[in-house]
C-alpha cells in the first residue's frame, strides 16, 4: 500500500498576483478538514487585510494569522534596515519554533521568500528547519524570488505569471480582492 498521508512543502512564487491568496485558500480548505493552521506574515502590508478578520471568525484555535513585519520594507537599497532584519529574525524564531513543535498541521510562511531574497534571513536556516519538521506538518512558503535551494527541496512549486493586472491600467487595490 502506498503511503497516502504526507506532510508537503509548497512554494508559491513568481511575479504575478495570487501567492498569498493561494496560501490562504489552502488554509481555508485545511481548516475544513479539521487541521490547525498558522500563518506568520514576515512582511506586513499597508492595509488591514480581510483575512485577519476572516481567520478570527473561524477561531484563533483553527486559523491563526500573525502579522510580524513592520509594513513596507525599503526595496532597491543595498543593505536592509536593521529594524526590518530584527523583525524578520523575531518572526523566524517564532515560526520555526511553532513549525518544529508540531502544534499546527499547516504552517504558512507568508513573504518568507521576499525576506530571504532581501538577505534578511538565511535560506540555510529555513532549509534546516524544513528538514527537521515533524513528518506530517505541511508548510507553504510564499513570496517572489524563491531561493533555488528551497524550490529544490519543496514537493510543489507554483510560479504565478503576470498575464494582466488592473494596476497596469491605473486601477488601484480593491477591498476584498487585494486586501
Ligand atoms: P495576493 O496577496 O493578492 O495573493 P501576492 O501575494 O501574489 O498577492 P505580493 O507580492 O505579496 O503578491 O503583493 C502584495 C500586493 O501587491 C497585493 O495587494 C497584490 O494585489 C499586489 N500585487 C501582486 N502582484 C502584483 C502585480 N503583478 N502588479 C501589481 N500589484 C501586484
Ligand atoms: Mg503576498
- pLDDT tens profile 92-116: 999 999 999 999 999 999 999 999 9
16 Cα to the center of ligand 1, angstroms: 7
16: three-class secondary structure by DSSP: coil
pLDDT of residue 1: 58
CATH (residue range 9-161): 3.40.50.300
Ligand 1 atom, smallest distance to 144 CA: 10
Domain residue ranges of the chain, discontinuous segments joined by +: 9-161
> What residue's CA is closest to ligand 1, atom 23?
17
Sign for the pseudo-dihedral over CA of 112, 66, 108, 5: positive
| Residues contacting ligand 1 via CB (< 6 Å) | 15-21, 142, 144, 160, 162, 165, 167, 173, 178-179
Q: Which of 10, 14, 15, 17 to mutate to test the pocket of ligand 1 (most atoms within 8 A of CB)?
A: 17
pLDDT of residue 75: 61
2 Cα to the center of ligand 2, angstroms: 35
pLDDT of residue 156: 98
Q: For all residues of the chain together, what is the average pLDDT? A: 93
CA distances from 110 to 39, 115, 163 (A): 7, 10, 23
Q: For residues 164 and 177, give the distance between their C-alpha atoms in angstroms, rounded to a whole number.
A: 15
18 Cα to the center of ligand 1, angstroms: 7
Averages of pLDDT over runs of 10 residues in the chain (179 residues) are: 83 98 98 98 87 97 92 66 91 98 98 96 98 98 98 98 95 95
CA distances from 35 to 80, 107, 110, 119 (A): 36, 11, 18, 32
Task: Name residues whose C-beta falls within 8 Å of residue 172's C-beta, 6 or more positions apart in sequence.
Answer: none
pLDDT of residue 79: 76
Residue 81: count of CB within 10 angstroms of its CB: 14
pLDDT of residue 44: 79
Give the number of the ligand closest to the Cα of residue 19. 1
139: three-class secondary structure by DSSP: strand
CA distances from 96 to 88, 154, 170 (A): 12, 17, 39
pLDDT of residue 45: 72
pLDDT of residue 2: 63
Q: For residues 179 and 40, give the distance between their C-alpha atoms in angstroms, rounded to a whole number.
A: 16
Ligand 1 atom, smallest distance to 21 CA: 4
134: three-class secondary structure by DSSP: coil
Residue 70: all three cell numbers together: 513592520
Amino acid at each position: 500500500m502506498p503511503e497516502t498521508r504526507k506532510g508537503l512543502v509548497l512554494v508559491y512564487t513568481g511575479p504575478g498576483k495570487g501567492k498569498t491568496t493561494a496560501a490562504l485558500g489552502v488554509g481555508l480548505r485545511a481548516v475544513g478538514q479539521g487541521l490547525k493552521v498558522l500563518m506568520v506574515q514576515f512582511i506586513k502590508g499597508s492595509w488591514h487585510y480581510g483575512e485577519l478578520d476572516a481567520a478570527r471568525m473561524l477561531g484563533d484555535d483553527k486559523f491563526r494569522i500573525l502579522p510580524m513585519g513592520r509594513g513596507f520594507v525599503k526595496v532597491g537599497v543595498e543593505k536592509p534596515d536593521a529594524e526590518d532584519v530584527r523583525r524578520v529574525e523575531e518572526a523566524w524564531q517564532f515560526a520555526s519554533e511553532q513549525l518544529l513543535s508540531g502544534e499546527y498541521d499547516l504552517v504558512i510562511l507568508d513573504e518568507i521568500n521576499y525576506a530571504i531574497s532581501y538577505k534578511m534571513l538565511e535560506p540555510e536556516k529555513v532549509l534546516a528547519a524544513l528538514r527537521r519538521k515533524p513528518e506530517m506538518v505541511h508548510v507553504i512558503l510564499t513570496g517572489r524570488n524563491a531561493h533555488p535551494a528551497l524550490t529544490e527541496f519543496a514537493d510543489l512549486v507554483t510560479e504565478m505569471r503576470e498575464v494582466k493586472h488592473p494596476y497596469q491600467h491605473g486601477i488601484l487595490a480593491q477591498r476584498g480582492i487585494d486586501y
